[in-house]
Structure 1
């Protein structure tokens, strides 16, 4: 959930009721909204916190710029192909695809996100 102040354009993420604290060990229970769960949870029943967070942020970014969840139309995650509108900048497309890398090791870190050219 996102609240946006229409006067300032400031956005705030809210509703962390299904979240949990970040830990260095593997999660074997899913804490969050299932439609944001990463492929490794769906495939193996476990995930690491930071790559799963990046996956969720990729879905959120996609929803913000495209107006819909990227995987609600039955796309196969194992294909790793995500069609994106031409109206998006190449930098935005690259960032979404990077965050939504099927292999969790291929996703950016939080630090990578802060340094990405699209963010600035």
Structure 2
């Protein structure tokens, strides 16, 4: 299981301090950018991966209704496993401090290989 991310000149070098200007695609913009104009790279990357996973599994970007249900950890989608729905919820929590961390992401049940 190897994931390769490609950046088409929309990102910036990762740093430990907060970024003050968002330089990515607006559809992937996390709520903390809209709320206070600041964000941290790893937490934003998790949000972005959650949006990407939602779009790949559902065929469209999450509308506000889905994001509200996700923020309440009350979102399911027919045809998706409970683990898939949960990893999406864990990535798309509006509070970045409660969001799944990048270091923990690969340990999520959705990534476990079953025979």
**Would you say same fold, with TM above 0.5?**
yes
Cα deviation, residue 113, structure 1: 0.8
Write out the 4+ residue segments of structure 1 that deviate beyond 4 Å after TM superposition: 76-79
- The reply to whether residue 47 of structure 1 matches residue 39 of structure 2 is yes
Q: Shift of the alpha carbon at 1:108?
A: 1.1
* Pair 1:21 & 2:13 matched: yes
1:4 maps to what in 2? Answer: none
Distance change (3 Å), C-alpha of 1:76 and 1:66: closer
Q: 2:85 aligns with which of 80, 93, 115?
A: 93
Aligned match of 1:115: 107
Question: How many angstroms does 1:77 deviate by?
Answer: 5.2
Could you tell me how far apart the structure 2 residues matched to 1:20 and 1:94 are?
29
Gaps of 5+ in 1: 1-9
C-alpha RMSD of the superposition? 2.2
The answer as to whether partners of 2:49 and 2:91 remain within 8 angstroms in 1 is yes
Shift of 1:12: 5.0
Range moving further from structure 2, 98-107 or 10-19: 10-19
Q: Cα–Cα, structure 1 residues 100 and 83, in superposed 2: closer, same or farther, change >3 Å?
A: same
In structure 2, what is the Cα distance between the partners aligned to 1:88 and 1:78? Answer: 18
Is the partner of 2:97 in helix, strand or coil?
helix
Deviation digits for residues 33-61 of structure 1 (CA, Å, limit 9, x no counterpart):
11101000011111111111100000000
Give the TM-score normalised by structure 1: 0.79
Aligned length: 109
| Cα distance in 1, alignment partners of residues 101 and 82 from structure 2 | 20
> 1:104 aligned to 2:96?
yes
